[in-house]
């Protein structure tokens, strides 16, 4: 395996590499560095964010720059202020033992006067965003006539942000004999056009597959009702207690709404979008880098340039309109050899868009069921227990209170004490899911098209192979999904009965069960007891319209008892079904 010592770096550069903790070159570094040190050819490198691109071009660039020449010799163009600052910091680290190498960051949102003064002092390497550099060129402060190396980093992002004209204008200011390196995650037609116009027979390097997502990223999705997206997002966050993720939304409004809901519900979250001032953006991004936030809700544009290596998940709250943007999103996790997960919340109208993305990244997306309340509670409880096992207890301040605490709790045995401690920690959280309804996947797409066509059919045709049952127990009886499942399990020992959607009402409820088990379950539950009350279960009747006619022709509502209380109750069933 080739190492940095064999690549031809000077002892000063190798010393910086060693101090930075770089052990072995990453794939993009193995291919780019020898070309940059060994010849003068142009280079196109297609690689995802987080694959080590900055070191791939930065280390040889620092070594090749002559500090005895007091002119700008290299220009690095990048799409955002944040990425500009990050690249400048990395190049400064690489150059810590190279003497008087001057590297200047030029970007919007900072004092242009300070940047002009920095240019007058002389900068060997300029790292810049296109808009601010154009401004400084127009003021005759930035002179690029001696630039011999131009690097376009995240070129596809710059084009997505509308910088094509600015890039063309900047490249026209640089002599034709320059060397050009282009780094991009995807190879679009616009990127190919720049290569044809400004590059001379470039060597092309591809890490992974063109237009593919990061190799270490798993792609999964939840099929959800549009109205349930936020509920599912909460379940994902609760099911992954150590989650550290960016949640991508399509618009600024949606971003702020989702972030506000998460904050109000007690999550460590915040929003990042274009309506924030630069100071607000910096504050949010710093909190996220320090992991004071677990969830950053962001638009694609606002998240560009945010460099975080340890993301566990990327969550697509809304799928992007441009399928190539997906590769940028998921490329933010699974970086530096680590694994990551890209989760998409997909409603039925987005299934076609999802299939386009699957073709683009050339990877299958796995559909997984939405976590149930029981699964989430278990995951959270065991995560809390793991923390309890490892918590530090060497606090002398506590010792003086222990005798009184022991005296107060002496009447509780171990099991009762555990129950109370767990209940105190999870009381609100457990109530949310213990008494809440589990979410199920929407009706299959083919059944939705059946519904929209106006053709008629039975309830079973609308919900797949499930039947809807009525049970004479409701919330006023202390009857919740947990109690329903327990009732089914107790009375159907040894059998697994698939339960679908559960609708809880005040004095009665509905639930769905796989059609093949419906008759057996009705027989098992009828005459069973729940808190000394006799249970009654039967097939739910069709919903009726205001005239009392069934919405599904061919079936008449079953006759009910003529006793008035029961008749009123049946009318209530019809109204709520």
Question: Which residues, at least 6 apart from 243, have a Cβ–Cβ distance to it below 8 Å?
Answer: 236, 237, 294, 295, 312, 313
DSSP SS3 for 469? strand
Candidate from 173-187, 412-426, 562-576 with smallest mean pLDDT: 562-576
Of 322 and 438, more confident = 322
For the ranges 58-62, 306-310, 357-361, 488-492, the one whose mean pLDDT is highest = 58-62
For the ranges 57-66, 331-340, 497-506, the one whose mean pLDDT is highest = 57-66
What are the sequence ranges of the domains in the chain?
A: 4-206, 217-371, 375-434, 445-576
Could you tell me the end-to-end alpha-carbon distance of the chain, in angstroms, rounded to an integer?
Answer: 67
CA distance 416 to 413: 5
Cα–Cα distances in angstroms (integers) from residue 187 to residues 46, 165, 215, in the given order: 7, 18, 17
Question: Over 50: is that where the pLDDT of 102 sits?
Answer: yes
pLDDT, one tens digit per residue, over 80-97 is: 888 899 899 999 999 999
Q: What percent of the chain has pLDDT over 70?
A: 84
The torsion angles phi and psi of 369, rounded to 5 degrees, stand at -70, 150
462 pLDDT band, cuts 50/70/90, is: very low
DSSP SS3 for 365? coil
Contact 256, 274 (CB under 8 A): no
Write b or e for each residue in 286-323: b if 16 or more Cβ atoms lie within 10 A of its Cβ, otherwise e: eebeeeebbbbbbbbbbbbbbbbeebbbbbbbbbbeeb
Name the helix (H) or strand (E) containing 258.
Answer: helix 252-264
| pTM summary value | 0.57
CATH topology of domain 4-206: Rossmann fold (3.40.50)
Of 507 and 462, more confident = 507
Cα–Cα distances in angstroms (integers) from residue 175 to residues 33, 40, 122, 149, 199, in the given order: 24, 15, 19, 10, 12
pLDDT, one tens digit per residue, over 198-252 is: 898 899 888 765 545 556 788 999 988 888 899 999 999 999 988 999 999 988 8
Q: Given strand 366-367, what is the order of strands in its sheet?
A: 269-272, 295-298, 245-248, 313-316, 340-346, 217-223, 366-367
Neighbours of 483 (CB within 10 A): 18
Per-residue tokens: 51 = 């694959």
Domain 217-371, CATH number (from 3.40.50.300, 2.130.10.10, 3.40.720.10, 1.10.357.10): 3.40.50.300
Question: Over 60: is that where the pLDDT of 550 sits?
Answer: no
Same fold, 4-206 and 217-371: yes
Angle at CA 446, nearest 5°, toward 440 and 449? 105
pLDDT, one tens digit per residue, over 179-205 is: 999 998 777 778 888 888 889 889 988
Compute the average pLDDT of residues 299-316.
Answer: 81
CA distance 128 to 445: 48
Q: What percent of the chain has pLDDT over 90?
A: 32
pLDDT at 387: 78
CATH 3.30.70.330 fits 445-576, yes or no: yes
């Amino acid at each position: 395996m080739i190492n940095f010592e064999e690549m031809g770096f000077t002892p000063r550069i190798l010393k910086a590499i060693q101090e930075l903790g770089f052990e072995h070159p990453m794939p993009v570094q193995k291919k780019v560095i020898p070309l940059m040190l060994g010849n003068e050819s142009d280079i196109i490198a297609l690689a995802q964010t987080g694959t080590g691109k900055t070191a791939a071009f930065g280390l040889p660039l620092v070594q090749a720059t002559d500090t005895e020449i007091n002119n700008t010799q290299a220009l690095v163009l990048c799409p955002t202020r944040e990425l500009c600052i990050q690249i400048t910091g990395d190049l400064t680290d690489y150059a810590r033992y190279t003497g008087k190498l001057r590297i200047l960051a030029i970007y919007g949102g900072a004092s242009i006067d300070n940047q002009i003064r920095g240019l007058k002092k002389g900068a060997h390497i300029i790292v810049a965003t296109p808009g601010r550099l154009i401004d400084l060129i127009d003021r005759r402060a930035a002179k690029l006539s001696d630039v011999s190396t131009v690097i376009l980093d995240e070129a596809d992002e710059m084009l997505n942000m509308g910088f094509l004209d600015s890039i063309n204008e900047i490249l026209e200011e640089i002599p034709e004999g320059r060397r050009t390196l282009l780094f991009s995650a995807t190879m679009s037609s616009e990127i190919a056009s720049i290569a044809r116009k400004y590059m001379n027979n470039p060597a092309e390097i591809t890490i992974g597959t063109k237009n593919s997502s990061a190799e270490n990223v798993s792609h999964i999705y939840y099929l959800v009702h549009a109205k349930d997206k936020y509920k599912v997002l909460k379940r994902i966050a609760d099911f992954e207690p150590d989650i550290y993720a960016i949640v991508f939304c399509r618009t600024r409004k949606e971003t702020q709404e989702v972030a506000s809901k998460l904050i109000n519900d007690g999550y460590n979250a915040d929003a990042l979008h274009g309506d924030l001032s630069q100071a607000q953006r910096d504050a949010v991004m710093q909190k996220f880098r320090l992991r004071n936030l677990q969830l950053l809700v962001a638009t694609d544009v606002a998240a560009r340039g945010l460099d975080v290596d340890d993301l566990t998940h990327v969550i697509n709250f809304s799928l992007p309109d441009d399928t190539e943007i997906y590769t940028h999103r998921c490329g933010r996790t699974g970086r530096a050899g680590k694994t990551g997960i890209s989760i998409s919340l997909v409603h039925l109208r987005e299934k076609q868009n999802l299939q386009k993305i699957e073709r683009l990244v050339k990877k299958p997306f796995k559909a997984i069921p939405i976590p149930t309340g029981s699964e989430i509670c278990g995951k959270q409880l065991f995560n809390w227990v793991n923390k309890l096992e490892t918590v530090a207890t060497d606090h002398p301040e506590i010792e003086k209170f222990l005798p009184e605490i022991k005296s107060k709790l002496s009447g509780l045995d171990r099991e009762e004490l555990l129950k109370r401690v767990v209940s105190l920690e999870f009381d609100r959280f457990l109530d949310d899911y213990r008494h809440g309804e589990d979410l199920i996947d929407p009706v299959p797409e083919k059944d939705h098209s059946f519904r929209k066509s106006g053709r008629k059919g039975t309830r079973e045709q609308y919900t797949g192979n499930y039947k809807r049952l009525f049970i004479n127990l409701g919330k006023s009886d202390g009857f919740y999904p947990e109690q329903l499942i327990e009732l089914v399990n107790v009375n159907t020992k040894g059998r697994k009965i698939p339960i679908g959607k559960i609708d809880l009402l005040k004095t009665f409820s509905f639930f769905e069960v796989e059609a093949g088990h419906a008759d057996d379950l009705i027989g098992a539950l009828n005459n069973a007891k729940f808190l000394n009350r006799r249970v009654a279960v039967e097939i739910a009747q069709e919903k009726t319209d205001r005239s009392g006619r069934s919405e599904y022709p061919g079936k008449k509502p079953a006759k009910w008892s003529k006793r008035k209380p029961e008749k009123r109750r049946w009318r209530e069933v019809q109204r709520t079904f």
